[in-house]
Structure 1
């Protein structure tokens, strides 16, 4: 008989979000992890203080704006790079305002790709974004005015990705 108990994982899902779309994806990831038996906490990346010693893995998500990851996600990774280099780490981006992210795997933007290489990231996914009336920012208003807004998130795709992470954690 095996007396060993499975290792309990506590995962931080930190995110950078301007209009709430990426925050909702982060919450969906954490919800799937919880259903899979993983303790998961979501936090805005800009509000995570202290060290990450209470976590056994981290997922960082950032909204994409003009080909760059959200500032809070970038700063989080920079601020916690030492701890992140020792933890299992996954990244996600959200932002394409079309169906492309649901149709095929989109590579990370160059800044996120550099993080992948430097921190030996376990995986990255790009999910569709959402831009709807009331969004903050001049550029967002211009995009909406041109008729290119909408909600392009695929929460089934998000769930499949999060389930894959839960399975990887289970094997650790």
Structure 2
């Protein structure tokens, strides 16, 4: 029976962390035990029945902590239900249409036989760390494009899939 879900994430400025925390909150409301943790801090997935891995997109690449997490825990993830998400487009495109996973995410999906992937809009606000982030903000292309209603709907669909698979409530 699936009862405990890990949401591991890679983030630079906290936007993806907020998405992961929202996913954990929704899963909790749906009767699961869910925990959102920075991917780099997770030493083992053995205490979890299912895993969600999220990472910010930077120049078309998934956050290094998310990539490393999948690589490091690949064997253990392959035996569990796994979903992946990306966050990143700094425009409304992620809410307007389904976006295919970038190459590195597609490779991660194949490695762990993931149940699915979704891309959410990103968030880049004043004060963000990193030279490229500051350049983007100076060009006027920052903002918050996360669609929390869509994130919550997706998390509920993950919970429903887990429930259909025999989750204990």
TM band (smaller chain):
over 0.9
1:139-172 CA distances to partner (integer Å, 9 max, x unpaired)? 0000000000000000000001000000011111
1:68-107 CA distances to partner (integer Å, 9 max, x unpaired)? 0001001100000000010100000000000000001101
Counterparts in 2 of 1:128-147, with a 5 A limit? 128-147=121-140
Q: Which has the larger radius of gyration?
A: 1
Aligned partner of residue 124 in structure 1, secondary structure? strand
**Structure 2 residues without counterparts, runs of 5 or longer:** none
TM-score, scaled relative to structure 2: 0.96
Q: Please identify runs of 4+ aligned residues in structure 1 that moved more than 3 A.
A: none
Match for residue 167 of structure 1?
Answer: 160
Task: Give the Cα separation in 1 of the matches to 2:146 and 2:102.
Answer: 18
Task: Give the Cα separation in 2 of the matches to 1:55 and 1:88.
Answer: 10
Task: Give the Cα separation in 2 of the matches to 1:104 and 1:78.
Answer: 29
Task: Give the Cα separation in 1 of the matches to 2:9 and 2:86.
Answer: 9
- Residue 118 of structure 2 corresponds to residue 120 of structure 1: no
Q: CA RMSD in A?
A: 0.7
- Residue 86 of structure 2 corresponds to residue 93 of structure 1: yes
